[in-house]
Amino acid sequence: MVVLLDEYEKGMPSIEILISFTIAALVMNLSPGPSNLYVMARSIAQGVHAGIVAAIGLAVGSMVHVIATVLGLSAVFAYSPLLYTFVKLVGAAYLIYLGVSYWKSNTQDGDASANKAKQKPLLSVLKESIIVEVSNPKTALFFLALLPQFVVPESGPVSHQLLVLGIIVTVIALPCDLLVAVSSSKVANWLSNNEKAQVVQERVSGSILVGMGSYIVTNEVLNTQ
């Protein structure tokens, strides 16, 4: 048992990395995005229960992305650590791109999504939300961009670290989406009546992403010198 625990701990990111990653994941999940808007649309269209089911479906779809990311990135690292570094740099560039996109985002997207929502059986909502998340290339790109930045190969198997980080993102996203489902009407009113507040929140989130991506690029460049 002790040996198994030692092997497990070797594949775990450090406490410092886990804390910083959890904070980053929380900030990103609290920021308005497609998942939040989808849950809001379902809740507004047919009640809290539909929003909760949608949130659960999105979490299931997210785990599909986590598993795919773990398998893919682990293979890349095993094949070529240099290629893995390249993936990290591309991911950092994508984080910067996302940050810039937050600054240019259209605050009316949430209203459009809500207006398009229609009444559906809860089972259909669950299936649809899973498909929505699995088929969302932005989710896959986000995992590919974010997870590698917090992996330290010296700490143990890359696949174990990626899996732990991916699960953290999914676990943190679920209560955030559930909160949106439960308070959807209030959230919708707040978004529609406080556009300036939403713009500020989006720009703060965008700045965090740009800063994170820039730091990663700088750090990788310095480490190669």
| DSSP string for 171-205 | HHHHHHHHHHHHTHHHHHHHHHH-HHHHHHHHHHH
The number of beta carbons lying within 10 Å of the beta carbon of residue 158 is: 23
Residue 193 CB burial class (10 angstroms; 0-12, 13-18, ≥19):
exposed
pLDDT of residue 11: 55
pLDDT of residue 106: 54
Residue entry with tokens 């259909």? 124
**Is the pTM above the cut of 0.85?**
no
3 state DSSP class of 146: helix
pLDDT of residue 6: 45
Low-confidence ranges of the chain (pLDDT < 70): 1-12, 32-34, 98, 102, 105-119, 136-138, 185-202, 204-205, 208-209, 212, 216, 219-225
Residue entry with tokens 């930045």? 149
Task: Please count the CA atoms within 13 angstroms of the CA of 208 that sit on its side-chain side.
Answer: 18
pLDDT of residue 1: 36
CB 36 within 8 A of CB 224: no
pLDDT of residue 109: 47
Report d(CA 179, CA 157) in Å as an integer: 35
Report d(CA 120, CA 131) in Å as an integer: 15
